[in-house]
């Protein structure tokens, strides 16, 4: 299990970034795409906005952007139809694969 996965399992979303290039690396990687130096980790603020969404059965899912540029597919927890641009709070877990949930604020 990678550091990213271990942290997800504890509900912590860690973002890999390069200190030298001042760039986030997503999907997570221990090596910077640009300078190949060892990346660092910082915790996400766990706040995002809905970019696009759809629904399967009774579950909304969609593409959400967190921390200015990191886009993730996940479940959107909302009692009404989500809106593009809507602010969401992220919760994470890991059980063989990552699962990201986005809770619509003021739901």
Partner 1 sequence: MNSVAIVGTGQTKFSKDDDDVEKLLFESTRNCIQSIENCEPKDIEGVLVSTNNNSKYLGAILSETLGLQPKISHSIEHLCSSGTNALISGYAYISSGLADLVLVSGAESATNPGQILEWDKSRGSFEHPIYWASMLTKSHKTKFQTTEEELAIVSAKNHKQAMDNPLAYSNQPRTISEVMNSKQITDDLRILDCSRSCSGSASILLASEEKAKKISDQPIWIKGIGQKTTSASFTKNNLEEIESTRIASKIAYEMAKISPNDVDVAEVHDAFSVCELMAIAELGITDNHQSGKFVRNLFNTEDRMINPRGGLIGAGHPLGATGISQTIEITNQLQGKSEKRQISNLKTGLVHNMSAAGTSSSVLVLEN
Residues of this chain that interact with partner 1 (CB under 8 A) are 4, 26-28, 51-56, 61-63, 70-75, 97-100
Residue 56 CA to residue 73 CA, distance in Å, equals 13
Closest to partner 1 by CB, 63 or 77: 63
In whole angstroms, how close is the CB of 99 to partner 1 at the nearest point?
4
Q: Which residues contact 101 (CB under 8 A, 6 or more apart)?
A: 74, 75, 76, 77, 90, 91, 92, 93
Closest to partner 1 by CB, 83 or 106: 83
Closest to partner 1 by CB, 47 or 65: 65
Cα 68 to chain centroid, rounded: 11
In whole angstroms, how close is the CB of 13 to partner 1 at the nearest point?
10
């Amino acid at each position: 299990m990678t550091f990213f996965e271990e942290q997800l399992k504890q509900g912590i979303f860690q973002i890999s970034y390069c200190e030298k290039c001042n760039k986030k690396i997503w999907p997570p990687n221990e090596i910077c795409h640009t300078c190949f130096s060892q990346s660092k980790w910082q915790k996400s603020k766990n706040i995002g906005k809905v970019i696009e969404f759809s629904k399967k059965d009774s579950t909304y899912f969609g593409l959400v952007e967190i921390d200015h540029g990191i886009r993730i597919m996940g479940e959107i927890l909302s009692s009404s139809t989500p809106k593009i641009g809507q602010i969401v709070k992220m919760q994470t877990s890991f059980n063989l694969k990552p699962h990201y949930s986005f809770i619509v604020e003021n739901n």
